[in-house]
Amino acid sequence: MVEESPVATTILNDGVIRAFEAGLHGELIRPGNERYEAARRVWNGSIDRHPALIARCREDVDVVRCITFAREHDLLVAVRGGGHSVAGTAVCDGGLVIDLSAMKGMRLDPRGRTARAEPGLTWGEFDDATQASGLATTGGIVTHTGIAGLTLGGGIGWLMRKHGLTIDNLLSVDVVTVNGELLHVSAHEHPDLFWGVRGGGGNFGIVTSFEYRLHEVGPTVLAGPIFHAMEHAPAVLRFYRDFIASAPEELTTIVNLRRAPALPLLPEAIHGMPVIAVTVCYAGPIAEGEQVLRPLRTFSPPLVDLIAPKPYATLQGLFDATVPHGWHYYWKSWDLPALSDDVIDVLMAHASAATSPLSYCIIFQLGGAVSRVGEDETAYSHRSLGHNVNINAVWTPHDSAPERHIRWAQDFSSALEPFAPGGVYVNFLGNEGEERVHAAYGPEKYNRLVALKNVYDPTNLLRLNQNITPA
């Protein structure tokens, strides 16, 4: 299945394009250029779009020039950071891609425990720099995810229960508005916009710099997965539900229901076996973590227990090989409260019926520092809920019948819906329409975002995103 974006093609005079190109510090890539095919591809192989122009920016002035050019020539605009959105909004048909992937500058202040980073960085690159000083902030759980999109949507990760979401550690941003103005935005400067970029996605401008608060983390943490056979998953999930109810904030867990991937870290005998994996990160003293995790590791004999002291950066890359660039991905998701027996029954019935050996259901544990931030302090919503559940249909490009995998995810989602309060994490949305974007925020917060959109992007130039439609 290929998901298509709206097409907006403007016929531009070649001289106009050449003049635009001459003013860029970066590179302009057009159809026919030897780099065009690679430049138009994003993480999700289902996305097959052909922009008219790809401007690979090098600095802020390039971004200003690009947004001004797009506005003046009525071009459809896509903004690319890491290109990891499942919806594929980092690329468009017939328009201009403002590609920030070459903007990888970073300034680290170990003494002040802050970092200022440009939007082309991935979390792997960011973590490599900060972990050299024993520091980190909450980031994505796949190293090739870009920092920009993950941050703007909220940012869940291994450190969130101890240190909050990525946006809870965001101190300031630099934003290029659709009018070509460069703003420094923080709690004290343009606070309305600072509220909106913390969860509202790329609706209000193009962020060219993020300033983060850092924390002492590792570099060695107690972390890793513990695997049980899928047939034991109901008992595992019920034990897990009770175990995390009193878990300290230093502990964050992620549950995965899938077939065991053929990774070197797993015994070959279980490759392809239906399993439940509980992966943990203890962001505190290792000896303390050993005590906290003992019940989880001993309540029932596992297939494999890979929980051990390891570098935080190693944990960050643990899932990389299971979600490579170029495979096809289709997601459905819900925010859920506690895992009731009925929810566990639904999880078991549908996870066990996955139509692709690459598909899975992943359950993120929330709470802790995430829930201590006030619901109205940022645009990110549903902080009081217990879990994000993400249903991932995954298949290879040569699969002859991808529709069955999509139906599996849709049926799974429909079965969970009666148990969901209605919310969803915006970064887990595919191309699902305006109603689901409303669900990501709720009516009051969505209306506040619309008012912000009316101020900063009233013509909806930046609409290839989980779009907040201006009034």
pTM for the whole structure: 0.96
Instruction: Give the model's pLDDT for residue 422.
Output: 86
Residues 335-387: tens digit of each pLDDT:
999 999 999 999 999 999 999 999 999 999 999 999 999 999 999 999 999 99
Residues 405-430: tens digit of each pLDDT:
999 999 999 999 999 998 999 999 99
Mean pLDDT, range 139-161, rounded to an integer = 98
Distance CA 258, CA 333 (A): 16
> Across the chain, what does the average pLDDT equal?
96
Instruction: Give the model's pLDDT for residue 105.
Output: 98
Mean pLDDT, range 198-210, rounded to an integer = 98
Q: In the predicted model, is pLDDT for residue 3 greater than 60?
A: no
Residue bearing tokens 């598909």: 359
N- to C-terminal Cα distance for the chain?
33
How much of the chain exceeds pLDDT 70, in percent? 98
Distance CA 391, CA 394 (A): 10
Q: Where in the chain is the domain with CATH 3.30.465.10?
A: 106-216
Q: In the predicted model, is pLDDT for residue 254 greater than 60?
A: yes
How much of the chain exceeds pLDDT 90, in percent? 97
pLDDT class for 10, splitting at 50, 70, 90? low
State how beta strands 77-80 and 96-99 pair.
parallel
Cβ burial 158-187 (10 Å sphere, 16+ → b, else e): bbbbbbbbbbbbbebbbbbbbebebeebee
**CATH of region 220-428:** 3.40.462.20
Q: In the predicted model, is pLDDT for residue 153 greater than 70?
A: yes
pLDDT class for 9, splitting at 50, 70, 90? very low
pLDDT class for 12, splitting at 50, 70, 90? confident
Q: In the predicted model, is pLDDT for residue 171 greater than 80?
A: yes
Residues 85-97: tens digit of each pLDDT:
999 999 999 999 9
Strands (E), 238-298: 251-259, 274-282
Output 325-328 pairs: Cβ under 8 A, ≥24 positions apart.
325/41, 325/43, 325/45, 325/144, 326/41, 326/43, 326/45, 326/397, 327/45, 327/358, 327/394, 327/395, 327/396, 327/397, 328/1, 328/44, 328/45, 328/46, 328/394, 328/395, 328/396, 328/397, 328/399, 328/402
Instruction: Give the model's pLDDT for residue 5.
Output: 38
Fold adopted by 106-216: 3.30.465
Instruction: Give the model's pLDDT for residue 7.
Output: 38
Residues 437-456: tens digit of each pLDDT:
999 999 999 999 999 999 99
Residues 213-238: tens digit of each pLDDT:
999 999 999 999 999 999 999 999 99
Q: In the predicted model, is pLDDT for residue 266 greater than 90?
A: yes
Q: Which residues contact 309 (CB under 8 A, 6 or more apart)?
A: 220, 221, 222, 286
Q: Where in the chain is the domain with CATH 3.40.462.20?
A: 220-428
Cα-based distances in Å from 397 to 45, 93, 96, 327, 329: 7, 20, 26, 6, 10
Instruction: Give the model's pLDDT for residue 272.
Output: 97
Q: Where in the chain is the domain with CATH 3.30.43.10?
A: 14-99
Residues 290-349: tens digit of each pLDDT:
999 999 999 999 999 999 999 999 999 999 999 999 999 999 999 999 999 999 999 999
**CATH of region 14-99:** 3.30.43.10
Mean pLDDT, range 52-70, rounded to an integer = 98
